[in-house]
Structure 1
Amino acid sequence: MKIRRIFSLIVGLIALSCGSNNNHFESDEVSGAYVREYTFKVINPESGTEIGMRTIRDTIIIQPINKDYEVSNNRWGLNDYDKDGWRNMEHADDRPLPTYVATYESKTHSLKAVGTASNIIHLDIETNQLYWAKDKPYKKITGD
């Protein structure tokens, strides 16, 4: 009886240690900060004249939470026609998307929001890019 308990405990510890290594590798592959920066002309809606240029820095942050991932979004804007500098776009018309929890599917390399069919993110592990929309890649920030 005692040997059976010890054997069960050892098998359980081995199973846990094997499972956590695999999740750790997957977590390193998926988690991180992904950035996309783009610039466009700002037009005065009343007169139709060009005011200047605006640069948007859009960041998606993916963090592991147990077996799932927390996906959050930050956006900052910089106008070349004012002296305000980089501003958080939390209250702008094109504000960041709300934070949500997603599950990673290794076969399709995608993160899907838990409980909904929307908010699907595709990852290209080889190029360290993330795609929220097909034509708008986000580049993973790495130490290289």
Structure 2
Amino acid sequence: MPTDYPQRRRPRARGMAAIRIALVSVRLRIIQWRIEQAIEGRDHVRLWGLISAYHDLHARTVKEFAAVALSDKFFNQDAVYGRARQIIPMIAREERRLERIAGRLHRARSAGDGRSHEKLYSLAKFSYGRISVFWSRI
């Protein structure tokens, strides 16, 4: 008569794994702080890099350790950063557009074309307003 051996329980993260999870948690919090600084400074290039680093570190940690507690703890941040990842390319596009408008505005001013200058100025104000709206959505 075959005897089944009791199933081995998978030990929870102990020892080195627990320390690594704690270190990753600290790193995620540091990245969150840097993300907040980038948002306050309205630096979309730095923000994009930090959000990508946060997402990669978080996904790798959850995959490696199956850290459900870590996953639940940082879930809200992941949703917010996902929305920011959608908005940042729009901000970059509007800033490129604003740079082109500024160049054309300078040429119109140096050429003495008042009508074109006024149109470009109103277009620049509109573009700057869109950038402000995008930043407020983050």
Greater relative contact order structure (CA < 8 Å, 6+ sep): 2
Larger radius of gyration: 2
Give the helix-richer structure, 1 or 2: 2
> TM (normalized to structure 2)?
0.30
Give the strand-richer structure, 1 or 2: 1
